[in-house]
């Protein structure tokens, strides 16, 4: 599914947080957004995912303008079409890793297909190399393991669009590579994947690189 930022910008008390951006992200492409700290990478991602409203411009997903969407429709979009991997590892403290991974299915009341989602969750955890951690609690996991669990959670509903904010920051090279490879594999299934990072390693997996500061698109 194509996602398009149309003249999107963000201002807060006269301070420009995100300069106006025009960019289209295509299906089957992994786009890496780069730029110095404070150039508004995270803000752009939040706006693209509909987690924040831009002060000007709008976002289109497919043919739909999501900026003016009603709460219910937006929630539906978040549940089924968008996977978001936040910069911070946020997990339910009192639930196991496996339970955390299927949280989107829980929120969407998918009781009927519980088995399928559990199977899928274990598949993801297995592929990401943390299957043996599935019954542990979040506090028992390392930062890299938590990040991989969060990725599994973002992918559990098989969203058309995956948005990842600094997915490799603070991780060792092996784990970072594993996460990037997994996202590249996901892109190969015809999905739209957007990563904001200043980790150069990500460039090796990118189909498109977008420099936010100079508003330039490179095809890798």
From residue 48 to residue 87, the character string flagging contacts with other proteins as x (rule: CB under 8 A) and all else as - is -x-xxx-----------------xx--xxxxxx---x-xx
Q: How far is the CB of 97 from other proteins (least distance, A)?
A: 12
User: Who's near 48: CB < 8 A, 6+ residues apart?
Assistant: 3, 5, 25, 59, 163, 194
Q: Residue 70 and residue 49: Cα distance in Å, rounded?
A: 14
Q: Is 15 in the site for other proteins (CB under 8 A)?
A: no
Distances (CA, A) of 164 to 53, 86, 180, 211: 18, 6, 10, 16
107 forms part of the interface with other proteins (CB under 8 A): yes
Partners of 58 in the beta sheet?
6
Q: Which is nearer to other proteins, 109 or 200 (CB)?
A: 109
Instruction: Determine if 103 is a binding residue for other proteins (CB under 8 A).
Output: yes
Choose, by CB under 8 A, the member of 104, 138, 144, 167 that binds other proteins. 104
The structure tokens listed for 32 are: 């890496």
Per the document, the length of the chain is 220
160 part of the interface to other proteins, by CB under 8 A = no
Tokens encoding 59: 């976002």
* Residues contributing to the site for other proteins (CB under 8 A): 42, 46, 49, 51-53, 71-72, 75-80, 84, 86-88, 90-95, 98-99, 102-111, 114, 118, 153
């Amino acid at each position: 599914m194509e996602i398009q930022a149309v003249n999107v910008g963000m201002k807060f008390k006269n301070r420009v947080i995100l300069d106006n951006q025009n960019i289209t992200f295509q299906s089957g492409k992994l786009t890496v957004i780069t730029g110095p700290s404070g150039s508004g990478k995270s803000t752009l991602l939040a706006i693209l995912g509909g987690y924040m409203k831009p002060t000007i411009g709008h976002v289109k997903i497919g043919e739909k303008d999501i900026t003016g969407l009603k709460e219910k429709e937006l929630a539906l979009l978040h549940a089924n079409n968008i996977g978001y991997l936040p910069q911070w590892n946020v997990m339910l403290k009192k639930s196991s890793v496996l339970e955390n991974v299927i949280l989107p299915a829980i929120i969407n009341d998918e009781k009927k297909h519980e088995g399928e989602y559990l199977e899928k969750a274990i598949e993801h955890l297995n592929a990401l190399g943390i299957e043996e951690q599935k019954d542990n609690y979040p506090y028992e996991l390392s930062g890299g393991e938590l990040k991989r669990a969060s990725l599994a959670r973002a992918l559990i509903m098989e969203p058309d669009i995956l948005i990842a904010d600094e997915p490799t920051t603070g991780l060792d090279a092996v784990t970072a590579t594993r996460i990037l490879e997994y996202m590249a594999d996901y892109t190969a299934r015809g999905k739209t994947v957007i990563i904001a990072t200043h980790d150069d390693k990500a460039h090796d997996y990118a189909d498109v690189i977008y420099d936010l500061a100079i508003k330039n698109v490179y095809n890798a």
